[in-house]
């Protein structure tokens, strides 16, 4: 090979070897930067994952706190409602007892008044009956005595009057004069 080609080849080899070294250094620098970027990317991913986990834990904690508060409020509302119900039931029982007592008193007074009116009405009816009985006896006696022409008729008329009056008939006597009638007579 001629010398000039040899030199040229050596120059090319030297140039290539210097350029290869620079290229290698440049590629090594790029590779180092890429590795650093990748490491930073991985670190950023880890931080994002940690952030998501923290956020998830905060959300879970906030949810549990909200759920506990809602449950506590619900339980309190239930207790308050039960207490209000018990108070209202007690008030209703008291009102019922008062109304029942008032009704019993009113009923008792009404029964007493009705009983008094009934006794008064019976006493008035008894007086009217006694008055009518007296008039009836007077009329019957007069009719019977007007019919009498002799002594035998007088005896017969007196027997009829005695029979009707209950003096000679125990059943009529019991109807005309009994303890119930005496109670009405006292009124």
Pairwise CA distance, residues 160 & 145, whole Å: 11
User: Measured between alpha carbons, how far is 42 from 48 in angstroms, rounded to an integer?
Assistant: 10
Taking only the tens place, the pLDDT of each residue in 46-69 is 999 999 999 999 999 999 999 999
pTM, whole model, 2 decimals? 0.38
Residue 167 has pLDDT above 60, yes or no: no
Does residue 30 carry a pLDDT above 80?
yes
DSSP state of 83: H
pLDDT in tens, 116-132: 888 888 888 788 877 77
Q: How far apart are CA 143 and CA 125, in angstroms?
A: 26
Q: What's the CA dihedral at 12, 16, 19, 20 to 10 degrees?
A: -170
Query: In the prediction, which pLDDT does 135 show?
Result: 76
Rounded to 5 degrees, φ, ψ at 168 are: -95, -15
Residue 168 banded pLDDT, cuts 50, 70, 90? low
């Amino acid at each position: 090979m001629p010398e000039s080609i040899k030199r040229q080849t050596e120059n090319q080899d030297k140039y290539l070897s210097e350029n290869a070294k620079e290229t290698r250094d440049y590629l090594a620098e790029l590779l180092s930067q890429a590795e650093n970027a990748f490491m930073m990317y991985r670190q950023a991913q880890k931080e994002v994952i940690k952030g998501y986990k923290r956020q998830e834990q905060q959300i879970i904690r906030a949810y549990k706190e909200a759920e506990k508060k809602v449950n506590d409020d619900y339980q309190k509302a239930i207790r308050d409602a039960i207490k209000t119900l018990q108070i209202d039931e007690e008030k209703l029982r008291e009102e019922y007892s008062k109304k029942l007592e008032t009704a019993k008193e009113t009923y008792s007074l009404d029964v007493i008044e009705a009983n008094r009116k009934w006794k008064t009405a019976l006493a008035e009816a008894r007086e009217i009956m006694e008055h009518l009985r007296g008039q009836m006896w007077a009329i019957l006696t007069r009719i019977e005595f007007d019919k009498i022409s002799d002594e035998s008729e007088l005896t017969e008329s007196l027997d009829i009057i005695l029979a009707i009056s209950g003096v000679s008939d125990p059943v009529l006597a019991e109807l005309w004069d009994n303890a119930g009638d005496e109670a009405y007579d006292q009124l």
